[in-house]
A = this chain, B = another copy of it.
Amino acid sequence: MAERAGVNQSTVSRALSGDPSITDQTRARVQEAANALGYRVDARAARLRSGKTRTIAIIVVARPGMDATEINPFHYNLLGSTCAAASEMGYQALVSFQSEPEHFDRHFIETRQADGMVLLGTSTNDAAWDYHHPILSRSDVASWGSPFTDHDRVDADNCAGARIAVERLLASGHRQIAFIGDTAETQKQFRERYESYVEVMREHGLEAGPPVWKPAAMRAEQGRKSAAALITSRRDFDGIFCSCDAMAFGVLETLQERGIAVPGDVGVIGFDGLGSGAHSNPPLTTVEPDFRKAGVMLARKALGKQKADDACRVPVRLVERGSVRKPTEG
């Protein structure tokens, strides 16, 4: 390659890497020779020598035995956004779906495969999160959705999001608003949403109820069971703020089965901005995090380019669809 262009090996390297000290003429000759020979720099060698990887590893925690269709679309969105953000920053994305212990791997940085790591996915895979726990507080690791509370995390602005949701319900005249969601210790994001819900209700002189939640394997089923429990409890309600869209879909189904009209009798708002909410029955009004910013924050945090910790809150917005009626006048 070098001889073909009539220059030294290092000149080839400089020319191809855009080193400004190379003459346009020389660079042209090198380019030409490279094209003629189909030459490309070997990324492995370049990275070995330069000590960099220009790669960010993204680990998606999944549940054992689940196939691709069962992964929460929210995590796919996060994955896509993170890949896009990495690319924008000139980094590649090495992605690893991890569900079974035999595939657990947290050593992408030590093995010099990546400069930073992003962890995301379902919080309901204890073995996986236990395995990854030790690295969650590292400065070159960013995570979304971990069940632990002893480390920084990137997350939606749950507080602002819950406020938007509850105030939207209030604007439509709802006063007896219930919260459906899992507020277990390991679900920090849902706890935050619940707490904000309580706060907003109080501010308006209204009574906030306890969180309603029934366990099940999948979110939609949790939603169905929780909605049924809420109805059975004979507690009056005319609005539901649901901690996540996947559960809200189940809630919507049960309400419909029981003959409770949405948004006529009860207003429902979810959280996550899932695209499938556009086709649910009725279409689901929801709080959507800015996925693009989420990806950027995760990538930046993983690469140690994040300034303050408190900046790790992704802004949210309300996506108006059809599960809450129009705001009442005056």
Contacts and interface: CB of A to CB of B under 8 A. Distances in A.
Contacts of A76: 68, 71, 73, 76, 79-80
Contacts of A60: 80, 83
Interface residues of A, number: 56
Contacts of A48: 42, 44-45, 48
A307 interface: no
Interface in A74-97: 76-81, 83-84, 87, 92-97
B80 A71 contact: yes
Nearest to A77: B68
A220 B111 contact: no
Given A94-B94, A275-B73, A276-B275, A68 B42 contact: no
A94 to B, nearest CB: 6
A276 B70 CA distance: 10
**Residue among A44, A48, A70, A73 with the most chain B CB within 10 A?**
A44
A212 interface: no
Given A276-B276, A281-B281, A69 B220 contact: no
Contacts of A77: 68-69
Contacts of A258: none
A186 interface: no
Contact of A68 (B68, B70, B291): B291
A253 B275 contact: no
A304 B110 CA distance: 31
A111 B42 contact: yes
A88 B251 CA distance: 37
A89 to B, nearest CB: 12
B111 A43 contact: yes
A101 to B, nearest CB: 13
Interface in A216-265: 220, 249, 252-253
A38 B109 CA distance: 12
A158 B38 CA distance: 38
B97 A83 contact: yes
Contacts of A279: 220, 249, 252-253, 276, 279-281
Interface in A274-295: 274-276, 278-282, 288, 291-292, 295
Given A44-B44, A253-B279, 18 more contacts: A42-B112, A43-B112, A43-B113, A44-B48, A44-B113, A55-B94, A67-B291, A68-B78, A68-B79, A68-B81, A68-B84, A69-B274, A80-B97, A92-B113, A93-B95, A94-B94, A95-B95, A252-B279
**Among all A-B residue pairs, the 10 with the closest Cβ atoms:** A276-B276, A281-B281, A68-B80, A76-B76, A40-B110, A249-B279, A68-B77, A44-B48, A68-B81, A43-B111
22 contacts: A43-B113, A44-B112, A60-B80, A67-B84, A68-B76, A68-B84, A69-B275, A70-B275, A71-B80, A73-B73, A76-B79, A80-B97, A84-B97, A87-B97, A87-B103, A92-B113, A93-B96, A220-B278, A249-B279, A275-B276, A276-B280, A280-B281
